[in-house]
A and B are shown apart, each in its own frame.
Chain A
Amino acid sequence: MHDILNAKLGRRSVLGAGLAGASMLAMPSVLRAQDKSLKVGVYGGFFKDSFDKNIFPDFTKATGIAIESVAEPTGEAWLVQLEQAAKAGAAPADVSMMSQVAMLKGQTTKLWAPLDAAKLPNSKNLIDNFVNKYPDGKIAGIGAVSWYITLVTNTQAYKEAPTSWAALWDKANADKLGLLALVSNSFLLEVTAKTFMGGTKALDTEEGILKALEKLAEVKPNVRLWYRDEAQFEQALKSGEIPMGQYYHDVTGLAASQGSPVRSTFPKEGGIQDSGCWALSRASKKTEEAHTFINYMCQPAIQATLSRKVGTSPTVKRDLLDLTAAEFASVSSDIEPIIPRYDLYQTKSDFLNQKWTEMIAG
């Protein structure tokens, strides 16, 4: 447990605990007064902080349902905890924000309670691929937010922003890159396929995957840090110690707005788009409240607030949003995104992981 807590000192966890603690202390009377409540898991840190401040209080005001937010770790640790708890009939959180890879794994074990579309009228606002469905057509999860991983640079070290992911392969960038350490969170295979192999369809076969890995191995001399800990890379990027790499568009934008010499660029091949779903644990007894919550979160107005305050990209159709062009551009891009091949992390996860680890550590 100690290990898990340590390892998760990422962007979504550092700030959370303190603020959550403070806000809980500030509203114990609210919690007591409400007889309806819901435990919601969001990534600890920046996300939870923003949700606690900008989203949850308004929801409670509008619906009378008190929200108890739970800081969840990134990666699959939270999925494991939810799964183990559900086996024992408990739910550490009723509704959780889950990444796509975790979402699909939970679908395999039927961890997520099917959602009732009739009780989610606002879900029709969503872009289709943000609704996760079971094979029988029942809804497993509803897109909460999406975010981009882009090419980031230190503005002092790079006067000109790079324009293509190919910059990672540029020999001039030897020992200057920070990249995510895992195949299932860096999505660099998809980046390689899109940049050099004509698209992520090239990863359909194992030969294609191996070819992409071979191409990717060429960036190794350029990589200074393969990071699991987001805070470590963010710090190094800001100081110019590691002046280029892949990182989250939202957090980089936040850092830039606070005066750090960093920039996030959507390369011409597209940023990597990842997303989080709201999913309900099958062990939860708060089905009604959960539907109310998820439906509330699907409103265009709420999605716009998330874009403005949290910096996430909306999951509802753009024409429903009142975001200005500049606001939209700050969280997203019209360049077609690189969508991760989530199916591969489902069917070939061990193969990918093994080859990936051998590639970077070998």
Chain B
Amino acid sequence: MRREPPQRLADYGPLFFPAGMLIVFFVVPFATMIAVSVFQREQGGFYTPAFVFDNYARFLSLFFGKVLGFSLFLAIAVAAACVVIGIPFTYLLSRSPRRIQIVWLVALLSILSLSEVMIGFAWSTLFSRTAGITNLLVWLGLMAQAQALTPSFGAVMTAMTYQAFPYTVLVLYPALVRLDPTLTEAARTLGASPVKAFFTVVVPALRNTILATLIMVFIFALGSYLLPQLLGRPQHWTLSVLITDQAIYQSNMPFAAAMAVFLVLVSLGLVGLALYAGQQRQAK
């Protein structure tokens, strides 16, 4: 089928709907946020329209720098953990019988129906001293005494990885199913071990998918504010937690907006960098 270039305005019709949605649900809210971020904060009140950079200035401090750094580190760590666990898992899944695949996929999809609150409470119970998994280890004789595993960085990481894992599998699954099995067979015929074949054939063939997965989980994890609160210590609170504090508890919308704008810009920057690096490598 040959595609005609659009001739009349009506030919652009199909574009109007997505463009409209993008404007209504992204451009307008984001523009509002940018506008509010330069408004003047009224202590003990709300804010007045103005054009000041005070809110950004307050953010530029060592303290917030550290919080931002930790948030980015946490999001990257969660993304890496998801991919490292997700690729072998999905690879094995895609090579299992159809029935087993369906059971696993349904189970993973059902995780998506759980809210962040429920995931947080479930993990805080599992990691608790009084009712948690360490009691099981004590019963098995592997541990002397039950202990609390939360609040800790590990608890935050585990819950966030758990929450993002279904998305990881859903993105990787189609690519792995479509992967030509003859590629690995060829590698095996040429004498590569299964592990070597996996790393030298499967992983490089999936490079773009892996990059896309990393970026998706990274963005997803960056917005998390409930799990760090429920399972972490204050030093594990992400920037999103502090934004929520400012917006909801301090009614300091301008500062909350400024932090949010900053977070969006930094994450867009990192995503851009990742995509650029990916392209450079492909160009080589």
Q: Evaluate contact between B226 and A6: CB separation under 8 angstroms.
A: yes
Given A6-B116, A105-B44: A361 and B249 within 8 A (CB)? no
CB-nearest residue of chain B to A185 = B249
Q: Evaluate contact between A353 and B250: CB separation under 8 angstroms.
A: yes
Residues on B with C-beta less than 8 A from A105 are 44-46, 251
A324 contacts chain B at the CB level, 8 A cutoff: no
CB-nearest residue of chain B to A80 = B251
- CA–CA, A225 to B130, complex, Å? 15
A59 contacts chain B at the CB level, 8 A cutoff: no
- CA–CA, A75 to B244, complex, Å? 11
Residues on B with C-beta less than 8 A from A345 are 44
CB within 8 Å of A: which B214-238 residues: 225-226, 229-230, 233-235, 237
Which of the residues A182, A226, A349, A353 comes within 8 Å of B44, measured between beta carbons?
A: A349
Residues on B with C-beta less than 8 A from A232 are 121, 124, 230
Q: Evaluate contact between B225 and A3: CB separation under 8 angstroms.
A: yes
Interface 0/1 of A56-97, CB less than 8 Å to B? 000000000000000000011101100100000000000000
CB-nearest residue of chain A to B124 = A232
Which of the residues B41, B124, B148, B237 comes within 8 Å of A361, measured between beta carbons?
A: B237
* 7 tightest Cβ-Cβ pairs between the two chains A and B: A361-B234, A346-B44, A108-B45, A76-B251, A360-B234, A239-B130, A75-B249
- CA–CA, A232 to B122, complex, Å? 11
Chain B interface residues toward A at CB < 8 A = 41-46, 58, 63, 67, 115-117, 121, 124, 128-131, 148, 151, 225-226, 229-230, 233-235, 237, 242, 244-246, 248-253, 255
Residues on A with C-beta less than 8 A from B131 are 239, 241
- CA–CA, A354 to B63, complex, Å? 10
A208 contacts chain B at the CB level, 8 A cutoff: no
Task: Give the interface centre of A108, A353, A361 by most chain B CB atoms within 10 Å.
Answer: A361
Q: Evaluate contact between A7 and B244: CB separation under 8 angstroms.
A: yes
Interface 0/1 of A227-263, CB less than 8 Å to B? 0110010001001110000000000000000000000
Residues on B with C-beta less than 8 A from A228 are 229, 249
Given A76-B251, A358-B63: A229 and B44 within 8 A (CB)? no
Q: Evaluate contact between A75 and B116: CB separation under 8 angstroms.
A: no
Q: Evaluate contact between A184 and B44: CB separation under 8 angstroms.
A: no
A29 contacts chain B at the CB level, 8 A cutoff: no
The smallest C-beta distance from B70 to any residue of chain A, in angstroms, reads: 10
Residues on A with C-beta less than 8 A from B128 are 236, 239, 241
**Could you list 29 examples of A-B contacts with CB < 8 Å?**
A4-B248, A6-B115, A75-B248, A76-B248, A76-B249, A76-B251, A77-B248, A80-B248, A80-B253, A83-B46, A108-B45, A109-B45, A109-B46, A229-B229, A232-B124, A232-B230, A236-B128, A239-B128, A239-B130, A241-B129, A348-B43, A349-B44, A350-B250, A353-B245, A353-B246, A353-B252, A357-B63, A361-B63, A361-B237
A347 contacts chain B at the CB level, 8 A cutoff: yes
The total of chain A residues at the interface (CB under 8 A) is: 42
- CA–CA, A345 to B52, complex, Å? 23
Q: Evaluate contact between A182 and B251: CB separation under 8 angstroms.
A: no
CB-nearest residue of chain B to A220 = B234
CB-nearest residue of chain A to B242 = A357
CB-nearest residue of chain A to B253 = A80
Residues on B with C-beta less than 8 A from A6 are 115-117, 226
A362 contacts chain B at the CB level, 8 A cutoff: yes
- CA–CA, A83 to B45, complex, Å? 10
- CA–CA, A184 to B226, complex, Å? 20
Given A6-B115, A182-B249: A361 and B44 within 8 A (CB)? no
- CA–CA, A229 to B117, complex, Å? 10
Q: Evaluate contact between A104 and B226: CB separation under 8 angstroms.
A: no
- CA–CA, A239 to B44, complex, Å? 39
Q: Evaluate contact between B248 and A7: CB separation under 8 angstroms.
A: yes
Residues on A with C-beta less than 8 A from B245 are 182, 353, 357
Given A6-B226, A349-B250, A353-B250: 9 more A-B contacts, CB < 8 Å: A105-B44, A105-B251, A108-B42, A228-B229, A241-B130, A350-B41, A353-B252, A354-B58, A357-B63
- CA–CA, A348 to B77, complex, Å? 37
Task: Give the interface centre of B42, B44, B244 by most chain A CB atoms within 10 Å.
Answer: B44
